[in-house]
A and B are shown apart, each in its own frame.
Chain A
Amino acid sequence: MELKDIINPNNLVYEKPKLLTENTMHYCPGCSHGVIHRLLAEVIEDMGIQDKTIGVSPVGCAVFAYNYIEIDWQEAAHGRAPAVATGIVRTNPDKVVFTYQGDGDLASIGTAEIMHACNRGENMVVIFVNNGIYGMTGGQMAPTTLLGQITATTPNGRDAGRNGYPLRITELIAQLPGTSYVTRQSVHTPATIRKCKKAITKAFQAAIDKKGTSFVEIVSTCNMNWKMTPVKANEWMVENMFPFYVPGDLKDSSKNDPESYTPLKN
């Protein structure tokens, strides 16, 4: 069979989701943000909630997320996405609201906002992209930077005595009674990407069912600031990030977790 016979709309198995715009993403080659954007677009498209989804974009590389996914967006000040999302979801309870934040945004400057939004159990989805570094500003140390990891501000590697310890914020958030689904995923192989898509779907379903905050951490790479090729960065992530940031569900209220949040009856 000739190639031109195979390349035919009847034989299509995979194409770009319709919710992604034609704009070329500004991310570096091999950046995990591209995959996560596509997963969000696929999930929103599959669930048919394009009209009622509102995203809150962070300050960080994903600040231009509104250029790439055809839904309503609101830009928040650095770290304040959960506070802005709280306002949106309280005034529009029928909407599906999610925040998209990096580790510098969520785990550093926005720690207070995310902790209290999750503790209040605001009915929203938090997508937390953790690459252990400040990507947009040139690769400085973030709270999530691993011990010994070389960044622009820790040229000899992060030292616990001087810089403190890396922060596992997802573990902290899983203890809060307001959260219904807390998970840690990654997007480095086809299998983990499919698994991550299921997790994002579950998180959006929890938001639609008004179960409280759903928190999806996605352990990602920043190959440009880690100074590696995209393939090497994925290997480095598996070797170094996964022993500390262990992938898996931390809390799942659909499985009758005793610590799960149950919404108050009016």
Chain B
Amino acid sequence: MAKVIGAVVVDNEECKGCGLCVVACPQDVLSQNKQVNSRGYHYSFMKNPEACIGCSNCATVCPDTCITVYRVKL
């Protein structure tokens, strides 16, 4: 089976820290940062980047469209 690896880029300033992407991720990749952005929200980040499969579930549920998804087939 072809292995797929992905990566997501979260726009830290746009993210409002709602946490919906953390729940939607099937691989438990995303988490909320202890740091806050300039508006005081705990923005999402890749806590576990190796596990990402680029399924784009996080980007689909993001209400602020601040996630961009990339995927490579090995």
Contact = CB atoms under 8 A, between A and B. Distances in A.
Tell me whether A and B are bound partners. yes
Interface in A153-201: 188-190, 193-194
Contacts of A8: 70
Contacts of A29: 16-18, 41, 63
Contact of A32 (B24, B41, B49, B63): B63
A231 interface: yes
B5 A13 contact: no
Contacts of A14: 56, 59-60, 67-69
Contact of B60 (A6, A16, A32, A190): A190
Interface string B39-72: 0010000000100001011011111111111111
Contacts of B66: 16
Nearest to A34: B63
**What class of interface size applies to chain A in its complex with B?**
35 or more
A33 B70 contact: no
A231 B68 contact: no
Contacts of B67: 14
Nearest to B66: A16
Contacts of B60: 14, 190, 193-194
A3 B7 contact: yes
Interface residues of B, number: 32
Nearest to B23: A231
B19 A7 contact: no
A6 B6 contact: yes
B28 interface: no
Interface in A208-265: 229-231, 234
Contacts of A190: 24, 57, 60-61
B17 to A, nearest CB: 6
A20 interface: yes
A193 B70 contact: no
A35 B65 CA distance: 8
B49 A3 contact: yes
Contacts of B62: 34-35
Interface of A: 1, 3, 5-8, 11-17, 20, 24-25, 27-35, 38, 188-190, 193-194, 229-231, 234
Q: Which 4 residue pairs across A and B have the least CB separation, nearest first?
A: A34-B63, A30-B18, A29-B16, A29-B18
